[in-house]
Structure formats: C-alpha cells, structure tokens
Amino acid sequence: MCLLLWMAINIGYFGLSLNTANLSGDPFLNCFLSAVTEVPAYIVSTFLLKSCPRRPVLSAFLIIGGGFLLLLQMIPDSSGGHQRLILHLVKRHYKISVTTSSSADLHSLALALEMAGKFGFTMSFTVVYIYTAELYPTVLRNLGLGMCSSAARIGSITAPYVIFLGTFSKYLPYLLMGSLTIASSVTNLFLPETFQKVLPETLEQMQRCRSFMRRDKHSLEDGRGTVVMNQHRQTKE
C-alpha cells in the first residue's frame, strides 16, 4: 500500500511540474507560480504534522490534489478550432478587434485549479515521508523507505509518459492522475494510525500493531506516558 501511495504521489507531483510548460499564458510566470505554490504547502504541512493524525491528513491532501485535477474536466475548451476560425473570419470581414476575455478567464481558472492540485500533491509528499517512516519498525525502516523511494522513482519515470497522453486528449493526463490519486487516498485508509503512538521496533511489535490500534481509545484515556513506561518495562524484562 505504501508503494502505491508513493508511486501515485510522484506521478501527480512530477506530472504537474512537467506540464507547466504546456499551460496557457506566459510559461515563465506559470513556472514561477508552480514553484511558489510549494512554499506555503511545506509550511502548512509542517504545522499540521505536529498536531494532526497522519492518516486522515494524507487522505485529505490526496483528495484535494486529485479532486482539483478532476474538476478540470468541467472547464470547456475555449480554444477550440471552430472558435478560432470564427474569430479570424470576424476580424477579417469586419476589420475589428474581438476581445476574448471569457477565454482568458477560463484559462486563469484552469491554471488556478492546476496550482491547487500542485498544492495538494506537495503537502502529500511532505506527509508521506513522515508517515512511512513511522509505519515501519526500526529494523526495517531503512529497507522500507528504500523500497518506497524506488517505487517513487518508477512514478517519476512514468510521469512524462502520462503527460504525453495529452497529445491524444487534453484532459486525459488530468483524468488519469486524478483518478489514481483518489484511489490511493482510499487505500491509505487501510493503513494504521501512528500519531502519538509508540513506534514499533521489532517485527513482533509491528504484527501486534492492529490489535494495539483497536485499543487506541483506551490508550489515549490512560495517557501516553503510561504506554511508554510499559514498553520500557517490557524491554528491561
């Protein structure tokens, strides 16, 4: 499940980053906006990680990133061939200038939705690093993160080919990335919660993780300090 999360997040993140040059408007401004969007995303995710559970936060960010990409399907293509032909004939026949403010507004809306999707993917990228490190036990943490990182590289390699699908349909890359992200957010709900929990150190503790999560409410009522003390007592014995 972690491998699917990392792959989906990397496909969306690098796909939107590589697609910046294909957006309408000034490509330099679009690249600047794409980079600036990541700054508040890192700041907000850092504060949320200190006080919010990992599983719902990550699922929410994935839904935000994928949901905004799916909303792009609802924006009409205002730069179609028929409209350009009509505008050209009107300008040539009547010798007047025709403004396309509605087209510019639609392009701005599409750019805003894509930047919002980039915001969600950046926040997901930040959370999934911390969440994955907390899921694996100490003896497998390096191996687990390495495997997830390898899956992420597969996602980043796949991202340019996903963007290439835009030659067949403009919205096909957004539909594919958005659907994959929404599916990964559902998959994330099957992972255990690690916020304010004693992290597993061995495989045996990781296997008992599900039964420990069922006593989640009871552990919170007793206090975190009691849980930590019991773990140290078992270690000494």
* Torsion from C-alpha of 26, 111, 48, 208, nearest 10 degrees: -120
pLDDT tens track of the chain, all 237 residues? 778 888 888 888 888 888 887 777 778 888 888 889 889 988 988 888 888 888 888 888 889 888 888 887 777 665 444 444 444 444 555 554 444 445 566 777 878 888 888 898 999 888 888 888 888 888 888 888 888 888 888 988 998 898 888 888 878 888 888 888 888 888 888 888 888 777 777 777 776 665 444 444 444 344 444 333 344 434 444
- What the chain holds in terms of domains, given with CATH numbers, is 2-193 (1.20.1250.20), 196-237 (no CATH)
- Nearest partner of 206 among 192, 190, 218, 195, judged by Cα: 192
Do residues 201 and 137 make contact, with C-beta atoms less than 8 angstroms apart?
A: yes
How far is the C-alpha of 36 from the C-alpha of 106, rounded, in Å?
Answer: 21
